[in-house]
Structure 1
Amino acid sequence: MDAAEALALLMSPPGRIDPYPTYERLRAHGPVAQAGPVFFAVTGYAEADAILRDPRFGVMDDALRDEFLPGWRDSPAVTSISRSMLRTNPPDHSRMRRLAAGAFTPRRIAAMRDVVVAQADELVDGMVARARDGEPVDVLAEFAYPLPVGVICALLGVPAADRPLFRRWAADLTGVLEPEITLDELAVADRGAAELTSYFAALVEDRRRAPADDLTTALVQVHDADGDRLSGDELLANLVVLLVAGFETTTNLLGNGLVVLLDHPRAAQALREHPDLAPDHVEELLRYDSPVQLTTRVNTAPATVGGVDLPAGSWTLLLLGAANRDPRRYPQPARFDPWRAQSHPLSFGAGPHYCLGAGLARLEAQVAFPLLLRRLPGLALAGRPRHRTRLTLRGYQTLPVIIDTESAASHRGTPAGTAPGTP
C-alpha cells in the first residue's frame, strides 16, 4: 500500500474509528511521506515538532482559502474558525492570543483546583444517584462533558442554565475541522456556528450593559476601547473557539482516558491509591490515545524535514496521534505505560499555536481520574463503547458504565489516597 492509498484508508470510516494501524502503514514510508505532488503526511515526532515550531509553516490564510475553498465566506463555520486565533498566523494570531492568555496563566489555573474538585465530586454524586436502579450511566453525558464545560463557561461568564445547549452546537461546528467534509456535513457545521455566534452576540450585548468579572467582559472592553486590537468578527469568533476548544478536547481526554484505565486495571489501581501519580498518568493517556489526532500546515518557503524536500506551498498533514507513537521517541509505543519516562506528547501541539488551555485540560484530568477511580471502585464498562466517526477530534459517541452503588456509597467523602475508615 503506497502512502496515497494509506491516506485514503485513514480518511474512510474504518480508518477514522481506529487510525493507529493506518498510521503504521504510513510510517513505513518514512517519518515524512509524500502522498501527492505537494501533499505530505508526517508521522515522525521530531519532524512534526519541528514543523509546528518553524515560522516557515503556518495555517491556511485567506488567500489560500480563496484558492482552495471558493465561496468559503458564505460558510458561517469556516468564517468563524478562520477569524479566530485557531486559524490565523502571526502577527494577528499573536495579537489575539495575548488578549486571552491572562485567563490561562499557571497561577490562575492552579487556583481553580478546588473549584474543579468540588464540581467533579458533585457530578459523581449525580452519577451514583442515577445508577441506583442498576441501569448504565453515560459518563460522557454525566461527567466528561459537564465538568469541562462548567469550568470554561465559568471563565467566560456563561450562565449555568445555558450550558446544556453547547454540546450539540459544538459537535456540529467541529465537523469543519475534519480533513475531509461533505457538503451535508458542512451544512450541519454551519448551523452549529450560526447558533454559537448568535448566542455570543447576545452575551456580548449583555456584558456591555452589565460588565462582570469574566473573560467575555474583558474581551468586550478591549474591542470597545480599540477595534484595531480586536475586531467585532474576531471577538465573536474567539469567544466561540474558546468555548468549544475549552471543553471538546477535555471531554474526549476524559472519555478516552477512562476507557484506557479500565482496560489497564494495574494502572487504574495505582492511580486510585496514589493520586499523586496523576500527572504522569495523564501525560501517558494524552500520548497513548490523543483527543486531537491531527493538524495541518502550509509552508511559505522551501524546507527540508526528515530528509524530504518540501517545496514552498506544500501541505503537511501532521498526524499527532502517530507522532505520539513514534518508536524513535517512545519505546514500545503501542503499550500503555504511565511509568515510562515522559517526553511531552504533541497532543496539544507545539510552537505558536500550542493549545492555550492545555494547562487547564491537564488540571481537570489530573483531578478527574483519581476522583472517579476512588469514588467509584466498582466502575466497569457496560460493553464496548462506540467511537465517533471523527479523526481530528477523537472521542466516543457515548460511554455507558456500570456503577457499584454500594461500594460508591462507602467511598463518599473519603479523601483521595486513603481507604474508607482511615482517620
Structure 2
Amino acid sequence: MTTPVMDPGRAMMTLLSPAGKRDPYPLYEALRSYGPLLPLGPGQLVVTGHAECARALREPALLSTDGAVQDSMMPGWRDHSSWVWLTKNMLFSNNPDHDRYRRFFSVGFTPRRIAALQPAVERLIGGLVDRLGTLGEGGAPVDFMAEFAFRVPMAIMGELLGIPEEEQAGFRGHIGAITTALEPIQDLAQLLPGDAAMEELAVYFRDLVAKRRAEPGDDLVSELVRQLDTTGGISEEELVANFMLLLVAGTEAPMDLIGNGLRLAVEHPQHAAALREDDSLAPGYVEEVLRFDPAAQALNRMAVKDFDFFGVPLTAGTKVTLLIAAGNRDPRQYADPGTFNPYRTGNHALTLSGGAHYCLGAGLARMQAEVALPAVLRRFPGLALASEPTFRDQLVQRGFATLPVKLG
C-alpha cells in the first residue's frame, strides 16, 4: 500500500505557492494518492482522474462559472469589470446563453474556415521566424516568449479580427492582466489590473465594431457585425465581450502551447530532431504537449442540484475543482504518463475542455503550433536555452514569463 506523501489540504495550498506553480505535477500525484475524487471540506470536491474530469466537462448538472455561480464563489465580483465582462462570454456562461453565443460565433471557426487560414498562418509564421533570426544574430539571447510565442497567435488573431500589426504588441500586458484575474485570489483588489485591462479592451473593440460597421472589411469582426445587424441573436455588448474572449484565449493558450512545445524540444533533442526532419510528426508532438504540460491546468464547476458523481454524493452548491492537468497524467488512462512521448496513440487530452464547452478555436491553436515548432527547429538546429526560464505567477493558465534562448 502506498502511503500518501502529503496531506491534501497542504498539497492544495502548496499548489498556489510560487514553487507549486512552477512544478505542480508532484503535487497532483500527492492528491491522486487519495483517489481520483477527493472531498476537501464541506461543499468542495477536487477531481484528479481522467475519466472523472472528462465526465464532469460533459455533465449538465455541473455549471461553468457564470454570474449566478460567481455570486456564490466570489461575492463582490459585480464591482469588478473584469468578471462583469467575463460572464458575458461563452466560456463563462451556461445555457441558454452559452448555446446562443456558440451558435453566433461558430461561423468564424468552421473546419473550412480554419483550413482556409493555413496559407496566412504559414506566411505570418515564416516572417516571425525571419524576425527571430535577426534578433538572435551573433548569439544574442532572445526571449522566445515575447519575440515569437506571443507574436505568432497575436499576428494570427490580428489577421482574423483585422487588428493592425502596429497595434498588436501592445496587447500582451492587457492579456496577462486579464488571465491573472482567473486565478484563485484572496483579496478582490487583485482583480484591479484585470479590471483596467478589460475596460481598455472594451473601448478598443467598441471602436473597432463601429469602424467595421461604417467600413466593412473581409475580417471576422466585419462579418459578425453584419450578422448582428442582419439577424440579431446577441447584443452588441455581448459581441464586444466575446471579441475580447477571442483575443485573450486565442492568444494566451497558443502562446503557451508553443512555448511549452519548444522547451520540451530542447529537453528531448531526439524528438526535436525527428520533428525537424518530418512535418508529419507535428500533430502527434503537439497533442502530447497538450497532454504532458498543458497551459490550462484547472477548471471550476458548481453542482446545480443534488446528484451522485462516481459514487460521491454532491449537493447543490458544491464547488468542483477539475485538475485537468492531473487527469492528463492519470495512469489508468495512459501508460507511463510521466514520460513525454510524441508517438503515443489514443491521446485524449483534457486540455481543450470537452462537451458543450470544447474550445471553439482548438483547430486553429493546433495549426499554429504544428506549423511554428517545426519551422523554428529547422531554421535554428542549434537552438538552446540561454538561461533558466521564468514562470508567470499563475496556475489556472500556467506558462513561461520568459524563455531566453540562443539560436545557435
* Structure 1 letter corresponding to 2:403: L
> Which residue is equivalent to 1:42?
47
Deviation (angstroms), 1:39: 0.5
* SS of structure 2 residue aligned to 1:70: coil
Question: Which of 255, 260, 268 pairs up with 2:259?
Answer: 255
| Residue type at the aligned position of 1:108 | R
TM-superposition CA deviations, 1:20-69 (whole Å, max 9, x none): 11101111111010112011111000000001011111113323323443
Q: Which shifted more, 64-73 or 168-177?
A: 64-73
CA contact (8 A) 1:100 1:215 kept: no
The equivalent of 1:418 in structure 2 is none
Separation in structure 1 between the aligned mates of residue 378 and residue 66 of structure 2, nearest angstrom: 47
Is the CA contact 2:288–2:347 (under 8 Å) kept in the aligned structure 1?
no
Structure 2 residue aligned with 1:362? 366
Whole-Å separation in 2 of the counterparts to 1:110 and 1:217: 20
Determine the structure 2 residue equivalent to 1:409.
none
Classify the secondary structure of the residue corresponding to 1:4: helix
Distance 1:401 1:14 in 2: 23
The amino acid across from 2:196 in the alignment is R
The match for 2:134 is 129
Cα distance in 2, alignment partners of residues 13 and 183 from structure 1: 20
Of 381-390 and 58-67, deviating more is: 58-67
Distance 2:397 2:223 in 1: 29
Cα deviation, residue 294, structure 1:
0.8
Q: Give the match for residue 324 of structure 1.
A: 328
For 1:8 and 1:270, how far apart are their aligned partners in 2?
40
Q: Within 5 A, what are the aligned runs for 1:168-247?
A: 168-180=173-185, 182-225=187-230, 229-247=233-251
Q: Alignment partner of 1:343: what SS? A: coil
Structure 2 gaps, min length 5: 1-5
Mapped pair 1:157 → 2:154: no
Report how many aligned residue pairs link the two structures. Answer: 403
TM-score by length of 1: 0.92
Moved more, 347-356 or 178-187: 178-187
- 2:103 and 2:33 map into 1 onto residues whose CA distance is 40
* Partner Cα separation in structure 2 for residue 278 and residue 235 of structure 1: 34
Which of 139, 146, 149 is the matching residue for 1:141?
146
Matched, 1:88 2:76: no
The Cα of 1:226 is off from its aligned counterpart by 5.3
CA gap 1:285/1:68 in 2 versus in 1, 3 angstroms: closer
Q: How does 1:1-16 map to 2 (within 5 A)?
A: 1-16=6-21
Q: Call closer, same or farther: CA 1:178–1:46 in 2, change over 3 Å.
A: same
Q: Which amino acid aligns with 1:84?
A: N
| Correspondences of 1:251-290 after superposition (within 5 Å) | 251-290=255-294
| 1:65 and 2:82 correspond | no
CA distance in 1, matches of 2:230, 2:119: 34
- Out of 385, 397, 421, the position equivalent to 2:401 is 397
Contact 2:69 2:302 in 1 (8 A): no
Amino acid corresponding to residue 146 of structure 1 in structure 2: R
Q: CA deviation at 1:181?
A: 5.2
CA RMSD in angstroms comes to: 1.4
TM value normalised by structure 2: 0.96
Query: What amino acid is aligned across from residue 384 of structure 2 in structure 1?
Result: A
Shift of 1:272: 0.8
Segments of 5+ residues of structure 1 without an aligned counterpart are 405-423
Deviation string 1:81-106 (CA, Å, 9 cap, x unpaired) is 11111100011111111111111111
Query: Which residue identity is paired with 2:36?
Result: P
**What is the identity, as a one-letter code, of the residue corresponding to 1:218?**
E
Tell me how far 1:108 sits from its aligned partner: 1.5
Question: How far does residue 120 in structure 1 lie from its aligned partner after superposition?
Answer: 1.2
Tell me, yes or no, if structure 1 residue 55 matches structure 2 residue 74.
no
Counterpart AA for 1:251: M
